[in-house]
Amino acid sequence: METVDIKALNDRIQQESSFVDLLSLEMGKVIVGQKHLVENLLIALLADGHILLEGVPGLAKTLAISTLSKAVDAKFSRIQFTPDLLPADVVGTLIYSQKKEAFEVRKGPVFANFVLADEINRAPAKVQSALLEAMQERQVTLGDETYRLPEPFLVLATQNPIEQEGTSPLPEAQVDRFMLKVVVDYPAREEERQIVRMHNGGSFPQPNPVVKPEDIIRARSVVREVYMDEKIERYIVDIVCATRQPESCGLDKLKDLISYGASPRASISLSLAAKAYAFIKRRGYVIPEDVRAVCPEVLRHRIGLTYEAEAENVTRDEIVSQVINAVVVP
């Protein structure tokens, strides 16, 4: 690409990305702190991916996605996953109408722009797979007919890391469908004081719709135009390959700790997330720092640990950070 093209692209992205600040401001009205969560929600929204959130209860996970849907003026639905949930409760079903003497389609809560799958690991595998098919194919088949899901379509699934009783952990193949896995942490002391004050005063600000769903769809096509140099592409592939063959970048000690590395889906997600991150930072090109910024969220759920790693209390995040530090930056 010519330098002139990059300059023109940069100017265009400066204009196109102006709504990102508006969205962040609206969400900041309602959500105190949690900047990392809000930023990753925007990355997933712009890169057309889904998010898996892990955090203890009460960290504004539900509030974050419902606030985003109000700010985008889009349809929001929440599915509380329980052990007795059926696939039909998620995607919908056919109901016989005696009046019309025919089957009618009753669409499920998955037919929304923003779907919150609360405590996804509480439902049986067949329900999880029904949702994951909708996520991957962006369509649902009821009877003989196939129905497209609305655009934009974003699934935000939450899971509680503490309770394991009565839960079905998501199989690796299904976890791989999520572009990002975000670990939500406790707010800082000052932020928590603000939250307490808000609740004591009973004054809950409401977000205003500042963006239309069509704006998000247009922004997604612009995000794909963000310039990525061949060196950055190689850098992304090097990072992903280092999770499969750590010895290739001098990390011999990780060989016995990783049972399997990230899939090619990780490389695709990493490049799209890096482009979305550059777009949020109002740049028309990707730099290595963009890749490094999104790496932990893209890779942490795509690496398998061996028993040895678990015995030594080695976490996936530690492995990802060692890989990022070992791979040569272009």
What pTM does this model have? 0.87
**Cα-based distances in Å from 31 to 34, 63, 65, 206, 256:** 7, 8, 10, 10, 42
Choose between 203 and 229: higher pLDDT. Answer: 229
At which of 182, 213, 244 does a domain end?
Answer: 213
Q: What token pair was written down for 175?
A: 């976890």
Residue 271: is its pLDDT beyond 90? yes
Domain enclosing residue 262, as ranges: 226-326
- Determine, yes or no, domain membership for 182: yes
Strands 102-107 and 92-97: antiparallel
Residue 190: is its pLDDT beyond 60? yes
Strands 154-159 and 180-183: unpaired
Report the C-alpha gap between 137 and 50 in whole angstroms.
13
The DSSP secondary-structure symbol of 127 reads H
- Determine, yes or no, domain membership for 13: no
Same domain for 145 and 239: no
**Which range among 33-42, 69-78, 158-167, 281-290 shows the weakest confidence by mean pLDDT?**
158-167
- Determine, yes or no, domain membership for 219: no
Mean pLDDT of 156-174: 73
Same domain for 186 and 76: yes
pLDDT band at 270; cut points 50, 70, 90: very high
What total of structural domains would you count in the chain?
2
Amino acid, res. 156: L
pLDDT band at 2; cut points 50, 70, 90: very low
Q: What sign results for the dihedral spanned by CA atoms 241, 242, 247, 249?
A: positive
Choose between 59 and 327: higher pLDDT. Answer: 327
- Determine, yes or no, domain membership for 271: yes
pLDDT tens-digit series, residues 60-77: 777 888 888 888 888 889
Report the C-alpha gap between 198 and 326 in whole angstroms.
45
**Average model confidence (pLDDT) across the chain:** 84
Same domain for 116 and 194: yes
Mean pLDDT of 88-115: 85
Report the C-alpha gap between 198 and 177 in whole angstroms.
37
- Determine, yes or no, domain membership for 286: yes
Report the C-alpha gap between 270 and 179 in whole angstroms.
8
Mean pLDDT of 130-156: 85
CATH number at residue 24: 3.40.50.300
**Cα-based distances in Å from 132 to 55, 269, 274:** 21, 17, 24
